[in-house]
């Protein structure tokens, strides 16, 4: 991808509320990308989650009407930015939905995990955060902080060590930047409850991502069993069986089931792609494998004889769960 691929159109910039910035350094933009997903076509969401996202979208799209024409800015001066928090269990589509939100708005996607921000050099993490906001501003991109629990946690009191100072500096910088920023920021986390009150109050939307219910699981299986996969049984029947059997599985785990089931179909056909066909028994076994891996990790929170947490996690990693 060219470094400029993620830079949105002038319309997208206008939507985002930014004037183009002269002379921005395009060398430093490789982390901004053109979103691969859209909310309507790619993300399966529970009705309640979707409604909350639609409200976010309406606020962003009709920002000028609400804040300028209707004058709401008089009582909500911080409303220039949209700060959104996606929280919920692993694998429920938070990262994907953030990218799809950018895709639906037609703007670039600037994705930052803690690995991109963290630095062992004192003061560097805070500078990385400033740079991230600057890039998002210059490219009018959606700024996405993945694994945001560490970032948004309560600031530490009685700081004595350098590392704690660094964490506090990082969080203070984030607060300042959030205050100044005029675009869209999305945070994602698994443990939203640890958030510092200062952050919580600056977030306009807290959107919870649930594990998929039966209707959502049907849609997820339908999406994951892509049309090119040869089936030995009726598609509708397979989807129904899978949706019922995969209770408690996340979207990511459903994808893992397919990853495990497809080689089973090929193996059964002696490795012949011409004869291989996916059937319920392959999917059933794959679902059982994923559920078993899940239970092992559940037990590993209290390590017992013969099984350490790290072993169980390794098993899970191997399965891609």
Ligand X SMILES: Nc1ncnc2c1ncn2[C@@H]1O[C@H](COP(=O)(O)OP(=O)(O)OP(=O)(O)O)[C@@H](O)[C@H]1O
Positions that interact with ligand X (CB under 6 A)? 43-45, 90-96, 188, 190, 209, 220, 251-252, 255
Cβ at position 91, least distance to Mg ion in Å: 8
End-to-end CA distance of the chain: 29
Kindly tell me which of 11 and 213 has the beta carbon lying closer to ligand X. 213
Cβ at position 48, least distance to ligand X in Å: 13
Cβ at position 42, least distance to ligand X in Å: 6
Report the C-alpha gap between 211 and 91 in whole angstroms: 8
Angle at 257 between CA 254 and CA 263, to 5 degrees: 150
Q: How many Cα atoms are found within 13 Å in the side-chain-facing hemisphere of 61?
A: 11
Residue whose token pair is 């053109």: 34
Strand, helix or coil for residue 58: helix
Kindly tell me which of 67 and 187 has the beta carbon lying closer to Mg ion. 187
Span near Mg ion by CB under 5 A; candidates 28-36, 46-54, 88-96, 253-261: 88-96
Each as own residue / partner, the long-range contacts of residues 2-7 (CB below 8 Å, 24 or more positions apart, any chain) are 3/27, 3/29, 3/30, 4/29, 5/33, 5/34, 6/32, 6/33, 6/34, 6/108, 6/109, 6/110, 6/139, 6/141, 7/32, 7/108, 7/139, 7/140
| Of the candidates 291, 266, 290, the residue with the CA atom closest to the CA atom of residue 278 | 266
DSSP for 96-119, written as a single string? HHHHHHHHHHT--EEEE-HHHH--
Kindly tell me which of 100 and 278 has the beta carbon lying closer to ligand X. 100
Point out the residue whose Cβ comes nearest to ligand X. Answer: 251
Span near Mg ion by CB under 5 A; candidates 74-82, 90-98, 221-229, 268-276: 90-98
Cβ at position 56, least distance to ligand X in Å: 16
* 252 contact, one of ligand X, Mg ion, none, CB 5-8 Å limit per kind: ligand X
Considering the rule CB under 5 A, would residue 95 count as an interface residue with Mg ion? Answer: yes
* 251 contact, one of Mg ion, ligand X, none, CB 5-8 Å limit per kind: ligand X
Considering the rule CB under 5 A, would residue 189 count as an interface residue with Mg ion? Answer: no
Point out the residue whose Cβ comes nearest to Mg ion. Answer: 95
Kindly tell me which of 47 and 122 has the beta carbon lying closer to ligand X. 47
| Of the candidates 105, 108, 111, the residue with the CA atom closest to the CA atom of residue 54 | 105
Kindly tell me which of 92 and 125 has the beta carbon lying closer to ligand X. 92
Cβ at position 75, least distance to Mg ion in Å: 35
Kindly tell me which of 183 and 251 has the beta carbon lying closer to Mg ion. 251
Would you tell me which residues interact with Mg ion (CB under 5 A)?
A: 94-95
């Amino acid at each position: 991808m060219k470094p400029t691929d993620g830079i949105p159109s002038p319309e997208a910039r206008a939507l985002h509320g930014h004037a183009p910035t002269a002379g921005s350094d395009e060398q430093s933009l490789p982390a901004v990308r053109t979103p691969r997903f859209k909310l309507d076509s790619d993300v399966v969401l529970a009705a309640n989650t979707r409604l909350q996202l639609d409200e976010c979208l309406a606020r962003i799209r009709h920002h000028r009407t609400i804040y300028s024409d209707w004058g709401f800015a008089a009582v909500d001066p911080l409303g220039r930015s949209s700060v959104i928090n996606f929280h919920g269990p692993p694998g429920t589509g938070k990262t994907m939905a953030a990218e799809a939100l950018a895709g639906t708005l037609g703007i670039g996607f600037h994705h930052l995990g803690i690995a991109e921000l963290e630095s062992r050099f004192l003061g560097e993490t805070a500078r990385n955060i400033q740079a991230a906001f600057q890039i998002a501003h210059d490219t009018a991109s959606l700024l996405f902080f993945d694994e945001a629990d560490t970032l948004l946690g309560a600031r530490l009191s009685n700081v004595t060590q350098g590392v704690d100072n660094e964490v506090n500096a990082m969080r203070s910088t984030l607060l300042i930047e959030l205050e100044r920023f005029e675009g869209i920021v999305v945070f994602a986390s698994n443990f939203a409850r640890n958030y510092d009150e200062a952050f919580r109050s600056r977030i306009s939307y807290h959107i919870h991502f649930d594990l998929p219910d039966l209707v959502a699981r049907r849609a997820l299986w339908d999406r994951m069993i892509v049309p090119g996969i040869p089936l030995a049984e009726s598609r509708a029947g397979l989807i129904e069986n899978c949706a019922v059997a995969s209770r408690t599985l996340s979207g990511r785990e459903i994808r893992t089931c397919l990853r495990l089931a497809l080689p089973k179909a090929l193996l059964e056909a002696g490795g012949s792609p011409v004869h291989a066909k996916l059937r319920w028994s392959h999917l059933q076994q794959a679902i059982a494998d994923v559920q078993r891996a899940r239970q092992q990790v559940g037990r590993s929170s209290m390590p017992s004889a013969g099984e350490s947490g790290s072993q169980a996690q390794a098993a899970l990693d191997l399965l891609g769960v």
